C-alpha cells in the first residue's frame, strides 16, 4: 500500500482509495456543517427539514435562498475550490514551478480585469455574458507572463516566471482599481467580489460555471500523466511519446478555463492553487490522475473551510479571499525561502 517516490513515502493501492474516500466524506461533512453556521445559526434538524421541503420562514431562507442562501454558497465554494486546486496543480506541474498559482501568475488578475472592462465599459452584468471575457483575460495574462519569463537572456526558470507574474498581477490589479473608481455605480454590488467571495452569488452563478469547471477537470484527468512527463523536461517527454506542444497548449487552456470560471463566479481568490498541490505532494506524494482527484477535493475543502471561518468572524459578510490570503501568504513566504535556499 506504500511506495517510495523521490525520497518520500507515497500511499498506493487500496490505502490511497481509502484516503480519497475519507477526504470526500470530510468535504461532505464540512458542506453540511456550513448550512447551519453563520449570522443566524440553524439547528441541524431544522436544516434537514428545510432540505426536505418542510421548513419555512427565516431558517428556510437562510439555508436555501436562491441568491444568498447557504446551500448555493456551499455549492459554489466546492466548485470554485475544485477549479482553483486543479488549475494550480496544472500550472505547477507544467512549468515545474513550485510557486505556480493562478493568482501569483496573473491569471486571476487578467480574468478580473476583463470582467471589470465587460461590466464598466460594455455594460454586461450577467455571468453568462462576461464569463467569456474572464477566459480571454486569463489567457492573455498567462501569455504575457510566459513571454516576459522567456524574454532576454537565460532559460525559463520558476523564479523568472514568478517575478513576471507578480509584476503583471500588480499592473492588472491597479487597472481594475482605476476602472472601478471611474465608474463606482457600476461596481457598487461587486466591491466584495473584487476581494474574492462566494456571498450573494446564488445557484444561477454556480449553474453557469459548473459545466466549464467539470469539463476542465475532466480534461485535466486526461492529460495529467503527460503533464507530469513535461514537467520532467521536454526532451524526456518527447522521447516517451508525448506531443509536448499539443499537451502544453491543452493544459494552458484547461488551467485558464478553470481559473477564469472560478474568478467569474467568486472573484480573484488567491493562494488556493498554491497551497493544495503542495499539501498533496507533501502528505501523499501522488502524481498523475490521483493528484488531480485529490486537488479537486483539497481545493473544495480549503474554500469551504475558509468560508466557514469568514462567517464566524463577520456574520456571513467577510469575503473568503481575505481568509485564504491570511493563510496563503505565510505559505508563500516559506516556499520562497525554501526555493532561495535550494538555489544557493
pTM tops 0.95: no
Confidence of residue 343 (pLDDT cuts 50, 70, 90): very low
Query: Is pLDDT larger for residue 201 or for residue 343?
Result: 201
The residue-averaged pLDDT of 131-135 equals: 86
Task: Reduce the DSSP state of residue 283 to 3 states and report it.
Answer: helix
The span from the CA of 70 to the CA of 315, in Å, is: 12
Q: Helix, strand, coil shares of the chain as percentages rounded to 5?
A: 75, 0, 20
The residue-averaged pLDDT of 181-187 equals: 71
- For the stretch 267-319, pLDDT in tens is 888 889 888 998 888 888 888 999 999 999 999 999 999 988 887 776 556 78
Q: What's the pLDDT at 204?
A: 83
Beta carbons of 307 and 77 less than 8 angstroms apart: yes
Q: What's the pLDDT at 4?
A: 43
Q: What's the pLDDT at 200?
A: 75
Give the DSSP letter string of 227-267.
Answer: HHHHHT-HHHHHHTT--HHHHHHHHHHHHHHHHHHHHHHH-
Beta carbons of 86 and 262 less than 8 angstroms apart: no
- For the stretch 246-264, pLDDT in tens is 898 899 889 989 998 998 8
Which residues lie across from 8 on neighbouring strands? 5
Confidence of residue 3 (pLDDT cuts 50, 70, 90): very low
Beta carbons of 305 and 30 less than 8 angstroms apart: yes
Q: What's the pLDDT at 121?
A: 78
Least confident of 17-21, 99-103, 157-161: 157-161
The span from the CA of 89 to the CA of 254, in Å, is: 11
Q: What's the pLDDT at 335?
A: 67
Which residues lie across from 4 on neighbouring strands? 9
CA dist 20 to 282, 313, 339, Å? 15, 30, 29
Q: Which of 214, 251, 203, 218 is closest to 107 using CA atoms?
A: 251
Q: What's the pLDDT at 215?
A: 96
Q: Which of 40-49, 57-66, 216-225 has the highest mean pLDDT?
A: 216-225
Confidence of residue 2 (pLDDT cuts 50, 70, 90): very low
Give, rounded to a whole angstrom, the gap between the first and last alpha carbons of the chain: 36
For the chain, which domains are there? 2-34+65-343 (1.10.3470.10)
Query: Is pLDDT larger for residue 175 or for residue 334?
Result: 175
Q: What's the pLDDT at 138?
A: 87
Beta carbons of 307 and 320 less than 8 angstroms apart: yes
Query: Is pLDDT larger for residue 297 or for residue 337?
Result: 297
The residue-averaged pLDDT of 161-189 equals: 80
- For the stretch 21-37, pLDDT in tens is 999 999 999 988 888 77
H-helix or E-strand spanning residue 10: strand 8-11
Residue 316: CB atoms within 10 A of its CB come to 18
Q: What's the pLDDT at 323?
A: 86
Q: Which of 173, 172, 196, 159 is closest to 271 using CA atoms?
A: 196
User: CB-side exposure of 110: number of CA atoms within 13 Å?
Assistant: 25
- For the stretch 53-98, pLDDT in tens is 665 655 555 566 656 677 888 899 999 999 999 999 998 888 777 7
The span from the CA of 185 to the CA of 216, in Å, is: 34
Which residues lie across from 327 on neighbouring strands? none
CA-CA-CA-CA torsion sign (22, 90, 140, 158): positive
Over the chain, what is the mean pLDDT? 81
The span from the CA of 10 to the CA of 40, in Å, is: 43
Burial class (CB in 10 A: 0-12, 13-18, 19+), 175: middle
Amino acid at each position: 500500500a506504500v511506495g517510495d517516490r523521490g525520497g518520500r513515502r507515497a500511499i498506493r493501492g487500496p490505502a490511497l482509495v481509502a484516503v480519497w474516500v475519507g477526504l470526500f466524506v470530510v468535504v461532505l461533512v464540512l458542506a453540511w456543517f456550513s448550512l447551519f453556521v453563520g449570522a443566524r445559526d440553524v439547528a441541524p434538524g431544522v436544516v434537514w427539514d428545510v432540505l426536505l421541503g418542510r421548513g419555512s420562514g427565516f431558517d428556510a431562507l437562510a439555508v436555501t435562498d436562491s441568491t444568498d442562501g447557504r446551500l448555493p454558497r456551499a455549492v459554489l465554494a466546492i466548485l470554485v475550490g475544485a477549479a482553483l486546486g486543479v488549475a494550480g496543480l496544472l500550472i505547477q506541474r507544467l512549468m515545474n514551478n513550485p510557486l505556480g498559482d493562478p493568482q501569483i501568475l496573473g491569471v486571476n488578475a487578467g480574468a478580473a480585469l476583463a470582467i471589470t472592462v465587460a461590466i464598466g465599459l460594455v455594460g454586461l452584468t450577467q455571468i453568462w455574458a462576461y464569463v467569456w471575457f474572464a477566459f480571454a483575460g486569463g489567457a492573455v495574462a498567462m501569455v504575457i507572463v510566459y513571454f516576459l519569463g522567456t524574454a532576454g537572456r537565460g532559460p525559463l526558470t520558476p523564479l523568472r516566471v514568478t517575478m513576471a507574474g507578480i509584476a503583471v498581477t500588480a499592473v492588472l490589479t491597479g487597472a481594475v482599481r482605476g476602472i472601478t473608481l471611474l465608474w463606482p455605480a457600476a461596481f457598487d454590488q461587486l466591491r466584495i467580489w473584487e476581494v474574492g467571495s462566494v456571498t450573494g452569488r446564488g445557484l444561477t452563478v454556480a449553474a453557469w460555471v459548473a459545466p466549464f469547471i467539470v469539463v476542465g477537470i475532466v480534461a485535466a484527468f486526461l492529460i495529467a500523466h503527460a503533464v507530469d512527463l513535461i514537467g520532467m523536461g521536454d526532451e524526456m517527454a518527447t522521447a516517451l511519446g508525448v506531443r509536448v506542444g499539443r499537451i502544453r497548449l491543452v493544459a494552458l487552456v484547461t488551467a485558464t478555463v478553470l481559473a477564469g470560471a472560478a474568478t467569474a463566479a467568486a472573484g480573484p481568490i488567491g493562494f488556493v492553487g498554491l497551497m493544495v498541490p503542495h499539501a498533496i505532494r507533501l502528505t501523499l506524494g501522488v502524481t498523475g490522475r490521483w493528484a488531480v482527484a485529490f486537488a479537486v477535493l483539497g481545493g473544495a475543502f480549503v474554500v469551504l473551510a475558509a468560508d466557514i471561518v469568514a462567517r464566524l468572524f463577520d456574520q456571513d459578510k467577510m469575503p473568503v479571499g481575505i481568509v485564504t490570503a491570511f493563510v496563503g501568504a505565510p505559505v508563500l513566504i516559506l516556499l520562497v525561502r525554501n526555493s532561495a535556499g535550494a538555489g544557493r
